A and B are shown apart, each in its own frame.
Chain A
Amino acid sequence: MNTVVCMKQVPDTETLIKINPEGTGIVTEGIKWVMCPYDEYAVEEALQQKEKFKAGKVTIVSLGPDRAIEAIRTGLAMGADTAVHINDAAFYEKADPYATAAALAAAVKDLEYDAIFCGKQAIDDDSGQVPAILGELLGLPVVTLVVKLEVSEDKTKAVATREVEGGHAVVEVSLPAIFSAQKGLNEPRYASLPGIMKAKKKPVDVKTVSDLGVSVEPMTAIKEMSLPPARQAGKILEGEDAVEKAKALAKALHEEAKLI
């Protein structure tokens, strides 16, 4: 089974994030970058499907600047076969979900695939739109929040279990299709040392957006970005007894918090 995995490199969840002086994004220097955790489920699913069918190729497609190659190599070390790196810093800088999906669609359209796997969302900007827009651009069905996937022997259809509020929904879809991976789909493997050794020899096709013939403009732009407000210190109410403390609480809620 041939598959494509759309993957994004994102800041590590443990890294300390700062907003840039313009307030339009984060400071990208001096932080740690990793493969988006949801994309790891996508890579793992692609590898498991390939192993199940004992044939096929897994191609990673990623839009990102030079540093994105690190996450691409991680995917290759896990076992993916090839990759397309859309390396276009200027485009990437301004890319919104639509522009991202347009670039990915252009890179994917010439590849052979039975399915495309994406993470359900990138954990940095949390838009969660790319799989759906990609489906629209490629004219493919999209199944989101997949936690289980079974592909038919003839690779013409698949049955996917989706996570829905309070339970699960089972969906049948014809292939090729796009699946967005939710936590629980699988347990992503660790890269192995032989895998890491092999990864450096695997082909990575580097392209700019103009190489791909993409000339779209983003439809949205970030005007302002801010960190959540720092948590305020708590306040201990004074009072001789419960009645006094309740009075102090009512007063604080009325005068300070202005809630009552």
Chain B
Amino acid sequence: MAERFVSERNLRFLLYEVFDVTELLKYPYYSEHTREMFDMVMETALRIGKDMLYPVLDEMDKNQPELVDGMVKVHPVVREFMRECGQGGWIGADAPFEFGGQQLPIMISLVSNFIFAAANYSASVYPGLTTGAARLITSFGSRELIDTYVPRMFSGEWQGTMALTEPQAGSSLADITTTAEPTDKGYYRIKGQKIFISASEHDGVDNVIQLLLAKIKGAPAGVKGISLFVVPNKRIGEKGELVPNDVNVAGIYHKLGYRGCPINQLSLGENDDCRGFLVGEPHKGLMYMFQMMNESRIGVGMGATAIATAAYYAALEYAKQRPQGRRLTSKDPTLPQVPIIEHADVKRMLLFQKSVVEGSLSLLFQCSKYRDLEMVLDGEEKERYSLLLEVLTSVVKSYPSEMGVLSVSQGLQCLGGYGYCEEFPLAQYYRDIRIHPIHEGTTGIHGLTLLGRSVTRNNGRAFQVFVEEVEKAIEKAGKEQELVSYAKNLKNALERLKGITTHLVGIAVKGEVELFLADATLYLELFGIIAIAWQWLLQGIVAHEALKSGPIDADLSFYRGKMYALRYFFAYELPKVETLAIRLENNDGLTVEMQPELFEG
């Protein structure tokens, strides 16, 4: 096992130097906090990650959850960790004081969640899901629902989940068939099947609370007829005791990775005795759920970045220790071999990983800061951050997921044959990360969301705001001699994105919807590269400034490393924009025209 799974120095760099979380302290909502407290939160999260989660990373992968007599048995650390997260206040870390939370900035909960996920992604999911489910109840549920469920979710006694997918309805939620039949007793009778529901039953908690989508009988067809319910696996009986609520585990899936957390098939209401409690108003379920979905989507980007980060440090450690081969200029076979990190191609692989994971993490901090500012501001300012989040959510979900897979693959490559062996950690990271381009909306769905909705809505207002933010960074970098060329390159790439967007919108205006969206995934990829280049430029501005002022010895390598990663990203990754742009300009309808039968033979 590698020594390190995150860089505390890099977290501090992003948190304090690039995105300065202390700027938030001037707003009344966050005025209770201090930087000293943030440091302690980070310290503690690092310790929990290191002492409790990281040591069982491998064990949780090898001993998968098992279904025994209707109960899913998970690793004992799950109960221990959920209890710690409850007692320690981590589940409600960024929830308001009024609901029993700690009201910490989203940027700070990003730090702790990232640390937990890098230490052990599967374990981190249990409290993470509970946080999201509880937020849904506090945002839209009645006081009674809040009082009944949230305290015990925040205390880690009860697990929260989101139950959307059904066997016949995955990406297409409009087609769900789970029903909710009203009764005159204040609850609905739920009946249906749900699949792929993470942590939806397990023995690491005393109860599980599903935030579940269903259609009330007689509701309108499609997405407009979907409502949101709280469906506990055990409901509260007359004397306050927990009684079974007719939620049964029909099976567990055996996954490629992320094996420490069960995903189950649930059968609800087999005996007509499954009670669900409506959250908010009828038929608004999907809208409510999307609030949590957007947070979970940022969470997926975070999870992918965390796994790829741990993989990067494991590969780095190996590359520094593994002697193999000699310098290409060395002719003497009796000379000792050099560590593989001396080889240019290995350095290229490591730089690729560094630029992907640190660029992704930067974008996550950026979006978290937008979420914080969206919360504390009003009016036009608030709207601006909402717009930025609207356009960036698909990007911050998909770039780290898609590129994280490639990044871990390069990490695995650094270990050669050992990378392919389960005795080394890269194999697990490679399996673990692969879920991320799939769950919480596949990359394909996010391509459609970004181009078909976020970029075009309100006459492209969100897109315009994003362009303005990138231009601000370009302008700032343009004033520094050493950064001018980066500013210019990003400016050109951004112009390319603007041109492509106008071009594609032109096709949409002509009503050729299929053609317009045929390569939406490529558009998302292009957008992602520009967003990460923007983040590297922001990091470069800070690192350059720090180098000018003569940092202490311990920091010199850190900032110089940042400048190399910036250089790498602009030299190796940003040029990919051009290839993508060429394809996106050519709307020959290749994939639209291709016929299913032509794939045969």
Chain A residues engaging chain B, CB cutoff 8 angstroms: 14, 16, 29-32, 34, 70, 73-74, 77, 190-194, 196-197, 199-200
Partner of A74, one of B33, B34, B43: B43
Asked if residues A30 and B552 are in contact (CB atoms below 8 Å), the reply is yes
Query: What interface size band does chain B fall in?
Result: 20 to 34
Q: Is B48 an interface residue (CB 8 A)?
A: yes
When chains A and B are docked, how far (Å) is the Cα of A14 from the Cα of B6? 13
Q: What are 24 A-B contacts defined by CB distance under 8 Å?
A: A14-B3, A29-B553, A29-B554, A30-B553, A30-B554, A30-B555, A31-B554, A34-B43, A70-B36, A70-B40, A74-B40, A190-B88, A191-B40, A191-B43, A191-B88, A193-B41, A193-B88, A193-B89, A193-B90, A194-B102, A196-B44, A197-B37, A200-B36, A200-B37
CB contacts under 8 Å to A, within B103-128, are 104
When chains A and B are docked, how far (Å) is the Cα of A32 from the Cα of B89? 25
When chains A and B are docked, how far (Å) is the Cα of A29 from the Cα of B554? 8
If over half of B's interface residues share one DSSP class (helix, strand or loop), that class is named, otherwise mixed; here it is helix
Asked if residues A77 and B40 are in contact (CB atoms below 8 Å), the reply is yes
Closest to B40 in A: A196
Q: Is B47 an interface residue (CB 8 A)?
A: yes
When chains A and B are docked, how far (Å) is the Cα of A175 from the Cα of B43? 35
Asked if residues A191 and B44 are in contact (CB atoms below 8 Å), the reply is yes
Q: Which 7 A-B pairs have the closest CB atoms?
A: A30-B554, A193-B89, A192-B88, A193-B102, A30-B552, A196-B40, A191-B44
Q: Tell me which residues across on chain A come within 8 A of B90, comparing CB atoms.
A: 193
Asked if residues B555 and A199 are in contact (CB atoms below 8 Å), the reply is no
Q: Tell me which residues across on chain A come within 8 A of B37, comparing CB atoms.
A: 196-197, 199-200
List 12 other contacts, CB 8 Å, given A199-B40, A200-B36: A29-B553, A32-B8, A70-B39, A73-B36, A74-B40, A192-B87, A192-B89, A193-B89, A193-B90, A196-B41, A197-B32, A199-B37
Given A30-B552, A196-B41, A197-B102, does the pair A190, B48 have CB atoms closer than 8 Å?
yes
For residue A238, give the distance in angstroms from its CB to the closest CB of chain B: 12
> Which of A30, A34, A73, A199 lies at the interface centre, i.e. has the most chain B CB atoms within 10 A of its CB?
A30
Q: Is B175 an interface residue (CB 8 A)?
A: no
When chains A and B are docked, how far (Å) is the Cα of A196 from the Cα of B37? 6
Closest to B43 in A: A74
Q: Tell me which residues across on chain B come within 8 A of A192, comparing CB atoms.
A: 87-89
Tally of contacts, chain A with chain B, CB under 8 A: 55
Chain B, 66-103, contact with A by CB distance < 8 Å: what is the 0/1 string?
Answer: 00000000000000000010011110010000000010
Q: Tell me which residues across on chain A come within 8 A of B84, comparing CB atoms.
A: 190
When chains A and B are docked, how far (Å) is the Cα of A34 from the Cα of B33? 21
For residue A19, give the distance in angstroms from its CB to the closest CB of chain B: 13
Q: Tell me which residues across on chain B come within 8 A of A190, comparing CB atoms.
A: 44, 47-48, 84, 88
When chains A and B are docked, how far (Å) is the Cα of A74 from the Cα of B36? 10
CB contacts under 8 Å to A, within B407-436, are none
Q: Tell me which residues across on chain A come within 8 A of B87, comparing CB atoms.
A: 192
Q: Tell me which residues across on chain B come within 8 A of A30, comparing CB atoms.
A: 552-555
For residue B509, give the distance in angstroms from its CB to the closest CB of chain A: 51
When chains A and B are docked, how far (Å) is the Cα of A14 from the Cα of B51? 14
Closest to A18 in B: B553
Q: Tell me which residues across on chain A come within 8 A of B3, comparing CB atoms.
A: 14
